[in-house]
Structure 1
Amino acid sequence: MITVFRSNGEARTLSLPSVEEAPPSLDGAVWIDLLSPTREEEDFVERLLSIDVPTREDLKDIEPSSRLFTENGAVYMTASLVWKADSELPELTDVAFILVGDHLVTIRYAEPKSFGLFKAAMHRIPGGCVSGPVMITRLLETIVDRTAEILERSATEGDALSRQVFGDKQQVTRRPQRYLEDRLMAVAGHQRLVALTQNSLMTLLRLVGYLRTVPALQQDKESRELCRSVSRDLQSLSEHASFIGGNTTFLLDASLGLINLEQNAIIKIFSIASVVLLPPTLIASIYGMNFDHMPELHSTYAYPVSLVAMVVSAVIPFFFFRWKGWL
């Protein structure tokens, strides 16, 4: 699908002309957005703007070192954006940005929330987006705001997970079965979102750094100032994402440590129980042997004395362990 936007946010869907029809005019169109384009739509835009439109396979196969380049006067830039951040399985999607003349062309095969937010707010931008450089810097500004929102939500979720993992002493003693294992899975999902966001920020930082060297942007004061502001925001978000990532790693290690501690405590209980019951078992085994010459067997008090001996032999190791601090 091809959607073209004017500087004031007016949008219209561009239909492929038939053989007899003349190609549509792009007068007043600043942004051409290609969402999951077909091969025919890609060929149409290539003929209309005299550029090479990267296919879905090109976006997947493109190497990080080849994501930013200029060819035949057109500036090609590719960034990875977080998609489905509000779901349990967030993903990264590659989006291509092409600056050609006064037009911005975007090619994408997903719908990151930032694009919808930008489209809804375009008509409120003072002065509108009168050129491709202004359009891309405004769009990047919205993408950065959306990324900041994702990180803010991640920080809040991380704090909630931290309280769930550690809690207070009363909660710790009454945890349901597999409680920590479930929290561990939640922390792993949280860490995945933060890692994807860090990866996205890295690609955006490289894109903005390259964009600032583009002559068309350097000649436009508004775009230049916006790009500088976006660059500062991306740097701050990158540092904040690293901080959240460090906290998440600590939370992941702490969850594994608590699980190991609980397992060790259970094994410790069984070990102590086996040691405590060992002396009574030894006494019971001795007097369970069938020998003819065992004087205690004929004693009137042999049975109660053996019971008392077994109890005493179990109590003494218990208090000894308490005295040593092993219990």
Structure 2
Amino acid sequence: MPPLSSLRPAIRAGRLSVKGSASLLPKLRVPISAYVVDCAVYVDGRRLPGHWSHDRALAEVRSRDDGFVWIGLHEPDEEQITGIADVFGLHELAVEDAVQAHQRPKLERYDDTLFMVLKTVCYTGKPQPSAENEVVETGEVMVFLGPDFVITVRHGEHSSLRDVRNDLEADPEQLALGPAAVLHAIADHIVDTYLGVTEAIETDIDEMETEVFAPRSAVDSEQIYVMKREVLELRRAVVPLGAPVRKLTEGYSSLVPHDVRSYFRDVDDHLTTVTERIAGFNELLTTLVDAVLAKITMRQNNDMRKISAYVAIVSVPTMIAGIYGMNFDHMPELHWRFGYPLVLVTIVVICAGLFRVFRRNEWL
């Protein structure tokens, strides 16, 4: 029988079929370790060797009365995270939010634990004129912060914290500041990702702006609408994070010491920059939408002027032919030998005159 960790994707996706008796079901239960990306114990900013379970790691830290535990989880279900919640004393409402995901960025305090939700974003490419296309994908990172532990819960494939952990482990002095330093590193990493995404979006918007205002360019307004939709989604992920980060800079909890609080001010500054960029993107895209609509209206007006000019030219021979088609006996030049050529010449002269007038007025 394959290891249970290899069955986790199939169980979660519902592709694993169980035939036979129900006695097999307990064997297919996914252990907590299947959802744990990493579990480590840090003392004086350095990682202790060995593989740790969540309960052994916490017992080790509390027996030493020093250091902290950092557990990383990826999309755990309610049953699996409950085992960790019981050991670390996590509040049930925060645990429910961590499992269900789709939360707004926020910061909540439960007794001696902080619960913070951060939205992650990922730039996927230039917008295409289709409703299914996404320029920005979003995920979530939930952080439980306690006096001697940090628990991170990730949702989404692009929200990996492996680089954050590696960078912190390479800087023991920073990691020695405790669990709050991990929270800062995660927030700083995510906000830096916001900066990268906004720079990529700014490049796309600049290209759109050049295309919109280029003469005789074929503008696809659908791309602008797709980009505007994605910018609004980015704003929903970024803007609500401002209040939680500001709380951390102002001493919202004793779990974030003064030494770490100053680092959050830098995160707040970067977040403010991102927020201002997004507001500028939204205004610029609104302007581009108006410009595209104005350009389409002008093109339609030009087309209507051309159509009206040609209708006026065609109406001359139509009118003259209609008059002579009434077949009355007493009509001008009806029985004259040169009457027919004279009427044709008259039609050509009038039409040529109208064409010249419309051309001079730039209708044609």
| Same structural fold, with TM-score higher than 0.5 when normalized by the shorter chain | yes
Give matches, 1:162-173, under 5 Å.
Answer: 162-167=209-214, 169=215, 172=216
Are the counterparts in 2 of residues 81 and 92 from structure 1 also a CA contact under 8 Å? Answer: yes
2:222 corresponds to which residue?
Answer: 185
Please state whether the residue corresponding to 1:95 is helix, strand or coil.
Answer: strand
1:240 lines up with 2:277 in the alignment: yes
Are the counterparts in 2 of residues 4 and 13 from structure 1 also a CA contact under 8 Å? Answer: yes
Are the counterparts in 2 of residues 32 and 104 from structure 1 also a CA contact under 8 Å? Answer: yes
Change (3 A) 1:35 1:63: closer
Residue among 86, 92, 104 paired with 2:124 = 86
Shift of 1:245: 2.0
> For 2:104 and 2:202, how far apart are their aligned partners in 1?
31
CA RMSD of aligned residues (A): 2.9
Which runs of 5 or more structure 1 residues have no equivalent in the other structure? 17-22
1:250 corresponds to which residue?
Answer: 287
Residue among 310, 318, 322 paired with 1:273 = 310
1:105 corresponds to which residue?
Answer: 151
- TM-score if structure 1 supplies the norm length? 0.82
> Share of identical aligned residues, percent?
26
Change (3 A) 1:25 1:56: closer
1:294 lines up with 2:336 in the alignment: no
Letter in 2 for 1:243: G
Change (3 A) 1:313 1:56: farther
Shift of 1:274: 0.7
Residue among 238, 245, 254 paired with 1:208 = 245
> For 1:282 and 1:205, how far apart are their aligned partners in 2?
72
Are the counterparts in 2 of residues 30 and 135 from structure 1 also a CA contact under 8 Å? Answer: no
Residue among 207, 214, 219 paired with 2:257 = 219
Which runs of 5 or more structure 2 residues have no equivalent in the other structure? 1-34, 62-66, 126-132
1:92-119: per-residue Cα shift (whole Å, max 9, x none)?
A: 3343222112322222321334635424
> For 1:120 and 1:160, how far apart are their aligned partners in 2?
37
Shift of 1:226: 0.7
- TM-score if structure 2 supplies the norm length? 0.74
> For 1:320 and 1:238, how far apart are their aligned partners in 2?
55
Change (3 A) 1:207 1:99: same
> For 1:57 and 1:299, how far apart are their aligned partners in 2?
98
Change (3 A) 1:156 1:14: farther
Give matches, 1:1-327, under 5 Å.
Answer: 1-2=35-36, 3-7=38-42, 23-26=55-58, 27=61, 30-52=69-91, 53-55=95-97, 58-60=100-102, 67-82=106-121, 84-87=122-125, 88-89=133-134, 90-113=136-159, 115-125=161-171, 127-130=173-176, 131-167=178-214, 169=215, 172=216, 175=217, 179-181=218-220, 184-212=221-249, 213-221=251-259, 223-324=260-361, 326-327=363-364
Please state whether the residue corresponding to 2:175 is helix, strand or coil.
Answer: coil
Shift of 1:218: 4.8
Change (3 A) 1:237 1:126: farther
